[in-house]
Amino acid sequence: MHRRGDIWTGVTGVAFALLAVLLIIPLGRLLWASLLGDDGGFTLKHYREFLAYPYYSRTIGHSFLVSGLVTLAALVVAVPVALLLARVDIPGKAVLKSLAILPLVSPPFIGAYSWILLFGRAGYVTTLLQKVGITIPTVYGMHGIVLALTLNLYPFVLLMVAGALQALDQSLEEAAQGLGSSPWRVFWTVTVPVTMPSVLGGALLVFLTAFADFGAPMIIGEGYLVLPTIVYSLFVNEMGGNPAMASTGATLLVVCTTAILLVQYWAVGRKRYAMTQLRPVPPVRPRPFVRGLLTGYASLVIGLSLVPAFVVAVTSFFESRGPVLYPNFSLGNYREVLFNVPRAITNSFALSSVSSLLDVLLGTLIAYLVVRRRSVATAALDSCVMIPYAIPGTVIGVAFIVAFNKPPIVLTGTFLILLLAYFVRRLPYSVRAGSAILHQIDPSVEEASISLGVSPLKSFAKVTARLMLPGIVSGGILTWVQTITEISATIFLYFGAWSTITVVIYRQVSSSNFGSAAAASTILLVAVFIPVLAVNWMMGERAVTAV
């Protein structure tokens, strides 16, 4: 029955109101701040200035260059391994695939930090080589960013392409062969075109994520500034900061990411080939020697991306004095972290738990509205709720400060501003996760419950929500994982007592307290890896799409 004013109308209203307050107002204020002259009138001078001074303008080029290189490198690294995992009989394939998810959920700034531990000025490898008289170029700057981000992000391509290759039905390639094509021709005329959307989709996802990343360039970039880091340095400038220029940079950043997303829609939007996979192509089993070689290669690539986690974990147990580490076992770093900044750890857990819970709750309800109660309003909601997807954390950070540091809504300096920023950033993912599950549940199951005499709302709870539960839980855990590793918005919004574990890591690295940074990083990685591996084990292959 369509009764006016039922609970779902209320949910729609609340969702729109939240999006207006948390997105439209901040983004509007951000734009306004970038267009406001000193005299209080409209001006384009900040944009002119940003684009005229190379110190600012080159960061745009840097961002595109870094993201482009990361994407290329990720393709080169990931595609061969994807082919191996999908088409060759390699022992321990499932384990390799689970491990490949871990880099995706580790924050890039921890990766960057660990490459500094290895190859930085006082890095383990650097000093080791110096002892035997070899000097290597330092890891700081563009190549360091590219290295760190590539090893963090290539699994996007790996998992998407491997998935597409496995979804390819054997009959398709057989049909081509039956039509007289050689295996090589089949590969180029069938396999490649059909998996191309996934390659492209993975590549653009890597590009977008690299473009929006703040942590890695901040830690390892040093003088090499990209858009998110220039925005941050404009904001916290020693001279008191320049909100107008920071807003201008942030606006340009969001323009770029939106453009990238539009390219993504245009390039891959409709070209997904829906495969009802009946028989995946059976993996080939090469001679033992070749098989060993290929297994070794796949393990090497995936192992390389786990090096940062390993290095950080080992370092955390070293004795430390500032940037100097001694290879003696010690729990000193953990003692320091747990005694000096226990609040940051509890903050991180509490904030990400509450915001993920809110995301899951509202995300599930919105997903239900969008999938099951289609109307003009819910279609609009569906589009609006996806907006945060295009907005880098840096932009959310600046926009929230600009919007909420003066009446009518003052949130700066409270935990609420962090909570709301986390909530709105991850909301699109929760809605997507929820609607993906809903599409697999037949609407008539809920109707069956209604026809048996259970009210619509109770039927939703007893049947649909209940059936969504496993998916909701794993989606919620992934949201939690992404939230607790958040740095790019947090760095703008945290204040005093409301520091988080990511902020602690960042500050300890900046002040060269490498020991406690390693301990805090290890705590964070353990907190993230365990639930992710649990979800992966629970959901099997589907976890990949969820990430």
Of 210, 226, 253, 227, nearest to 104 by C-alpha is 210
Q: Is 459 in the site for another protein (CB under 8 A)?
A: yes
Is residue 454 a contact residue for another protein (CB under 8 A)? yes
Question: In the complex with another protein, which residue's Cβ is closer, 196 or 450?
Answer: 450
End-to-end CA distance of the chain: 36
Among 442, 497, 511, 537, binds another protein (CB under 8 A): 442
Q: Return the number of the residue (447 or 541) whose C-beta is nearest another protein.
A: 447
> Taking contact as CB under 8 A, which single stretch among the options 10-18, 292-300, 454-462, 525-533 is the one that binds another protein?
454-462
| Minimum distance from residue 538 beta carbon to another protein (Å) | 16
Q: Does 447 bind another protein (CB under 8 A)?
A: yes
The helix-helix angle for 342-372 and 466-484 (nearest 10°) equals 140
Asked if 1 interacts with another protein (CB under 8 A), we say yes
Residues that bind another protein (rule: CB under 8 A) add up to a total of: 20
Smallest gap from residue 430 Cβ to another protein (A) = 22
Class of residue 467 by CB neighbours under 10 A (exposed 0-12, middle 13-18, buried 19+): middle
Indicate if the alpha-carbon torsion angle 350, 356, 362, 364 is positive or negative.
Answer: negative
Dihedral sign for Cα atoms in the order 511, 513, 516, 522:
positive
Nearer to another protein, 213 or 446 (CB): 446
Q: Shortest approach of another protein to residue 371 CB, angstroms? A: 16
Selected range binding another protein among 318-326, 330-338, 438-446, 482-490, rule: CB under 8 A: 438-446
By the rule CB under 8 A, 450 interacts with another protein: yes
Judged by CB under 8 A, the residue of 68, 283, 286, 456 near another protein is 456
Which of 486, 375, 466 shows the shortest CA–CA distance to 424?
486
CB of 463 to another protein, least distance (A): 6
* 35 Cβ contact partners less than 8 Å away, ≥ 6 residues apart: 42, 43, 44, 46
Neighbours of 55 (CB within 10 A): 10
Site string for another protein, 460-479 (x = CB under 8 A): ---x--xx------------
> Strands (DSSP E) along 186-343, which ranges?
318-321, 324-329
Does residue 136 interact with another protein by CB under 8 A?
Answer: no
* Binding residue for another protein, selected from 237, 375, 455, 545, defined by CB under 8 A: 455
* Interacting residue with another protein among 17, 290, 445, 530 (CB under 8 A): 445
Whether residue 10 contacts residue 362, with contact meaning beta carbons closer than 8 Å, is answered with no
Q: How far apart are CA 450 and CA 448, in angstroms?
A: 5
Contact 489, 231 (CB under 8 A): no
- Between 3 and 287, name the residue whose CB sits nearer to another protein: 3
Which range of residues in 37-45, 189-197, 205-213, 458-466 is near another protein by CB under 8 A?
458-466
CA angle 256, 257, 259 (to 5 degrees): 65
CA separation for the pair 400, 356 (Å, rounded): 19
- 6 counts as binding another protein under rule CB under 8 A: no
- Tokens standing for 338? 């747990």
Q: Report residue 36: phi and psi, to 5°.
A: -95, 120
Pairing between β-strand 405-406 and β-strand 409-410 as defined by DSSP bridges = antiparallel
Q: How far is the CB of 531 from another protein (least distance, A)?
A: 24
Q: Which stretch binds another protein (CB under 8 A): 86-94, 288-296, 306-314, 442-450?
A: 442-450
Interacting residues with another protein (CB under 8 A):
1-3, 442, 444-445, 447-456, 459, 463, 466-467
